[in-house]
């Protein structure tokens, strides 16, 4: 039986906090008092719903809807507005929500047509009616977030209230995150990064979030120069920042004055780390998490911002590396590659309606198999080298992580973007293949030049044997490269 759990958002019931800013999306904003009243009005319309879908556009309505449902103890299923009808249909049939919450006005796709709709209006207030969520259990589901579905239909990861609270409190410890912080970001709200960290995180601390709606470097500069203290982004966003810095003194000033610059959802290339640090004197820090685990590691605010690493395990999180046969790696020497396994209060409870997949995801003693490959330095810092399924290349008897080769390629002045995969090779087992977007399409760097460049920086056995030039790399909504979409042209 679940034990009772403290409120997820204490500031919503805190009288003195009522006048503090909570949410701002463009020109629209809510204080904590206004958010409590708006969320109370929505919660009052949920009736006996046990689970609701939220049409998760990057708007004030989405933030109010999620806050209302969570405080009412109703499980939230965030829906990606860019999902196709087949994927939406699968998610809806799998999760079986009772209602869909959305901003008023937009016509929703056909798969949502038969689902009762609740239009969220932040201007409608119900003072004093916000439910008290302290009676909820720690294992009660808060969110069901669907995975990307790269190996089949998306699976719904059931995230309990304890996982949300544990992750946000551990990040507060690592980043010295307080109610005085003002977070700015332009992340989507159907994913862990933008919704849990970027929206629920500030609300749990009693701080505020300013959402850009659409990410622009001008918006980042404006908000950081107007009192925001933290910036969350994905590598694509920080790449745009790095590109804009030489011609934008206001952006340089903004980043130089920020308390914390955080990148996540994919590895930030070392080249962009260095360009931002050189221009602003500030280091971007990284963290590592997954839908199923929320956050596992982070570079601490009081630690070394070591480019290419995702820091150390967060408080309460156990992390180990294992060999292919499941035995723990004992040599934390910065070079031995193993699969990351984690356990702790941050983990999901199950894949909805998938007991087989849930059982396969965990070891007998409760470690979650992440499928991510990494090395660990003697002082505990973790460096991700790629996904086991797509980024671990076994070539000539070596286990090679694609990530370090990608970073080396990005240090070449003729390379704008890079991805690395493996393909079968009769002699080596697998050969290393580079997919490169040239900085100058009319004068791309040749295969021999890139192979020599990588060999000098890393080791000869890590050089690419094949190089493909592309106009762009396929990426998902979070900026991650979709390697399964890469095909030899």
Q: How far apart are CA 329 and CA 375, in angstroms?
A: 10
- Quick one: which of 320, 315, 267, 309 has its CA closest to 295? 315
Instruction: Report helix angle 235-244 to 217-224, nearest 10.
Output: 80
What is the pTM for the complete model shown? 0.85
Alpha-carbon distance values, 135 to 200, 245, 340 (Å): 19, 49, 35
Alpha carbons within 13 A on the beta-carbon side of 348: 28
CA distance linking residue 224 with residue 227, whole number of Å: 6
CA 465, 466, 472, 475 torsion-angle sign? negative
Contact predicate 41/125, CB 8 Å: yes
Compute the CA torsion angle 459, 462, 466, 469 (nearest 10 deg): -90
Contact (Cβ atoms closer than 8 angstroms) between residue 35 and residue 22: yes
Task: Identify the residue whose tokens are 């849930």.
Answer: 358
**H-type helices in 308-385, by residue range?**
355-361
Six-digit token string for 104: 């008023």
pLDDT recorded at residue 489: 44
Sign (positive/negative) of CA torsion 177, 180, 186, 189?
positive
Mean pLDDT in consecutive groups of 10 residues from the start of the chain, 489 residues: 71 86 96 95 93 97 97 95 89 97 92 94 83 77 85 87 97 98 96 96 97 96 98 92 96 98 88 94 96 97 92 97 92 89 98 96 96 93 83 74 83 90 81 92 92 86 91 80 70
Domains identified in the chain and CATH numbers: 10-376 (3.40.50.12780), 390-485 (3.30.300.30)
Question: In sequence order, what are the residues at sequence separation of 6 or more whose Cβ sits closer than 8 angstroms to the Cβ of residue 460?
Answer: none
How far apart are alpha carbons 291 and 310 in whole angstroms?
Answer: 16
Classify strands 338-343 and 368-376 as parallel, antiparallel or unpaired: antiparallel
- Assigned token pair, 451: 């192979």
Classified as helix, coil or strand, 207 is coil
φ/ψ region of 380 (left if φ > 0, alpha if ψ in -120 to 50, else beta) reads left
Structure tokens at 122: 């932040």
Q: Report d(CA 26, CA 215) in Å as an integer.
A: 12
Number of C-beta neighbours around residue 159 at 10 A = 26
Q: Which residues contact 151 (CB under 8 A, 6 or more apart)?
A: 389
């Amino acid at each position: 039986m679940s034990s009772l759990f403290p409120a997820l958002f204490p500031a919503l019931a805190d009288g003195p906090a009522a006048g503090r800013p909570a949410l701002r999306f463009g020109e629209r904003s809510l204080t904590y008092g206004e958010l409590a009243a708006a969320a109370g009005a929505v919660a009052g319309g949920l009736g006996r719903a046990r689970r609701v879908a939220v049409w998760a556009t990057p708007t004030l309505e989405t933030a109010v809807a999620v806050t209302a449902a969570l405080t009412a103890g109703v499980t939230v299923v965030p829906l990606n507005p860019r999902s196709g009808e087949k994927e939406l249909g699968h998610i809806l049939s799998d999760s079986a929500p009772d209602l869909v919450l959305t901003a008023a006005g937009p016509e929703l796709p056909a798969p949502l047509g038969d689902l009762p709709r609740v239009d969220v209006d932040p201007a409608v207030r119900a003072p004093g009616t916000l439910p008290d969520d302290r009676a909820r259990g720690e294992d009660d589901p808060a969110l069901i977030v669907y995975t990307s579905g790269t190996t089949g239909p998306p699976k719904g990861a059931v995230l309990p209230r304890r996982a949300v609270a544990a992750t946000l409190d551990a990040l507060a410890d690592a980043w010295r995150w307080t109610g005085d912080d003002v977070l700015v970001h332009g992340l989507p709200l159907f994913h862990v990064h933008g919704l849990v960290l970027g929206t629920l995180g500030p609300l749990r601390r009693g701080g505020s979030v300013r959402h850009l709606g659409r990410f622009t470097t001008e918006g980042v500069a404006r908000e950081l120069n107007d009192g925001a203290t933290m910036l969350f982004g994905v590598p694509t966003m920080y790449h745009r920042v790095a590109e804009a810095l030489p011609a934008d003194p206001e952006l340089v000033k903004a980043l130089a004055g920020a308390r914390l610059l955080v990148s996540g959802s994919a590895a930030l290339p070392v080249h962009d780390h260095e360009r931002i640090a050189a221009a602003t004197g500030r280091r971007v820090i990284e963290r590592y998490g997954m839908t199923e685990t929320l956050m596992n590691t982070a570079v601490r605010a009081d630690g070394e911002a070591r480019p290419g690493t995702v820091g150390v395990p967060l408080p309460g999180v156990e992390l180990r590396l294992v060999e292919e046969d499941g035995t723990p790696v004992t040599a934390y020497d910065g070079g031995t590659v193993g699969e990351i396994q984690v356990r702790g209060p941050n983990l999901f409870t199950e894949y909805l309606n998938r007991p087989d997949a849930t059982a396969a995801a965990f070891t007998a003693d409760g470690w979650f198999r992440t499928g991510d490959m990494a090395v660990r330095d003697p002082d505990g810092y973790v460096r991700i080298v790629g996904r086991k399924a797509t980024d671990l290349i076994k070539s000539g008897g070596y286990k090679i992580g694609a990530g370090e080769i990608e970073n080396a390629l990005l240090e070449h002045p003729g390379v704008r973007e890079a991805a690395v995969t493996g393909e079968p090779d009769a002699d080596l087992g697998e050969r290393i293949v580079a997919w490169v977007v040239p900085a100058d399409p009319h004068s791309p760097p040749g295969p021999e030049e890139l192979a020599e460049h990588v060999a000098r920086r890393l080791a000869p056995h890590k050089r690419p044997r094949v190089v493909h030039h592309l106009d762009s790399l396929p990426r998902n909504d979070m900026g991650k490269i979709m390697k399964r979409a890469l095909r030899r042209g």
